[in-house]
């Protein structure tokens, strides 16, 4: 079973929310399979909103139509990964083909699939949206940001502290859409965790708050149901707004409990 909640807002400056999110649960062999995602669109006032919504709609359709066929045929996690990768490439090409000439339109994506039947989680990722795993005593950032400042941090050119205030924070190096049909997406395969909170967020949710604040308010010890998750996500959203975050703000948090443990 799952507990989950989310927050999303256009924020204090923008008039359009170009973030999009999804949570879907399907039952198979007495198990619940969850698929969730957050996209952060870019490309003008409505271009980013179109791109993020298009990708969320596309991967939702993949989960409803293509994923069941794979698992019913006994498909492996590698087949699932390949199928989702092909879906993302189709969506990428469609966005490029349908973007008006002279304009750029694209979106980031971080998705999390939890399949108790195969006992796996599959993360698909591109851009600077993130997946966190928050434990009682620490947190882990599962994904790697595809951005100019993140790459410079990894290469030792600038520090983490310098990256926090770098004016190039919004310059990403990989996404779905914009101009290239030769995209490479990150896929991460792990086992499901029952002692953590999974949190997917757009960059607008995490820039004005600290990892310590995320750890405190999204600790699995205090987030035991949908209401507590909602309350604590809203508190962190409020901190972002108080600190004048100018971007759209979106976060989705969930906790997985094995059916046998219920």
Better-scored residue on pLDDT, 5 or 97: 5
pTM of the entire predicted model: 0.94
The whole-chain average pLDDT of the chain stands at: 93
Give the whole-angstrom CA distance, residue 72 versus residue 52: 29
Most confident of 94-98, 147-151, 164-168, 199-203: 199-203
Domain ranges of the chain: 2-261
β-sheet with 130-134: strand ranges across: 2-9, 249-256, 197-201, 130-134, 139-141
pLDDT for 98:
85
**Chain segment 205-236, per-residue pLDDT in tens:** 999 999 999 999 999 999 999 999 999 999 99
Whether 56 contacts 110, CB under 8 Å = no
Q: How far are the Cα atoms of 126, 140, 202, 258 from residue 183, in angstroms, in the given order?
A: 9, 26, 20, 35
The domain made up of 2-261 has a fold known as Phosphatase 2c; domain 1 (3.60.40)
- pLDDT over 50 (residue 262): no
pLDDT for 80:
97
pLDDT for 167:
77
Structure tokens at 71: 């698992």
- Mean pLDDT over 143-164 rounds to 86
């Amino acid at each position: 079973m799952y507990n989950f909640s989310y927050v999303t807002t256009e924020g204090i400056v923008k008039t359009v929310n170009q973030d999009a999110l999804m949570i879907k649960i399907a039952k198979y062999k007495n198990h619940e399979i969850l698929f969730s995602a957050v996209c952060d669109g870019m490309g003008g006032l409505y271009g980013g909103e179109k791109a993020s919504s298009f990708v969320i709609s596309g991967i939702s359709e993949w989960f409803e139509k293509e994923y069941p066929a794979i698992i019913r045929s006994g498909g492996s996690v590698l087949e699932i990964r390949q199928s989702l990768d092909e879906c993302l490439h189709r969506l990428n090409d469609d966005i490029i083909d349908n973007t008006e000439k002279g304009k750029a339109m694209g979106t980031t994506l971080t998705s999390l699939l939890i399949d108790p039947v195969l006992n796996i989680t599959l993360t698909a990722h591109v851009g600077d949206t993130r997946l966190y795993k928050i434990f009682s005593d620490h947190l882990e950032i599962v994904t790697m940001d595809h951005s100019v400042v993140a790459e410079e941090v990894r290469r030792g050119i600038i520090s983490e502290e310098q990256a926090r205030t770098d004016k190039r924070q919004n310059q990403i190096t990989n996404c779905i859409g914009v101009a290239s049909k030769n995209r490479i997406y990150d896929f991460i395969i792990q086992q499901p965790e029952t002692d953590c909170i999974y949190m997917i967020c757009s960059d607008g949710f995490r820039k004005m708050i600290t990892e310590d604040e995320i750890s405190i308010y999204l600790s699995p010890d205090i987030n035991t149901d949908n209401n507590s998750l909602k309350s604590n996500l809203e508190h962190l959203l409020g901190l972002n707004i108080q600190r004048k975050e100018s971007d759209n703000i979106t976060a989705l948090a969930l906790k997985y409990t094995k059916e046998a443990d219920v």
